[in-house]
Amino acid sequence: MLIPICSFKKQLLPLLPCCIRENKMGHQQLYWRRPRKFGQGSRSCRVCSNRHGLIRKYGLSMCRQCFHQYAKDVGFVKLD
């Protein structure tokens, strides 16, 4: 005897966890669920919190745009 798929799903629905049953957990909630201890997602610019174009050399941890803006204040000199 074959059971229709729609009645089969109705039978399994009470057995599923509520987060799957109601589909409340979106992609962003699942994506940011684990801690970021290493990798590009764990580091950000100390000035603007940007994660792209990060300069980590000498412990700067600044994005390239902020470094261009604050290079003289930090002590860097542009050579000819």
pTM of the shown model:
0.59
Mean pLDDT of 17-21: 54
All structural domains of the chain with their residue ranges = 5-74
CA distance 58 to 67: 12
- The whole-number pLDDT of residue 64 equals 96
Share of the chain above pLDDT 90, in %: 46
Kindly state the average pLDDT of the residues 11-39: 68
Can you give the pLDDT at residue 34? Answer: 80
Q: What is the pLDDT of residue 51?
A: 93
pLDDT at 65 over 90: yes
Residue with tokens 């987060």: 19
Residue 21 token pair: 């049953």
- Domain covering 5-74, topology: 30s Ribosomal Protein S14; Chain N (4.10.830)
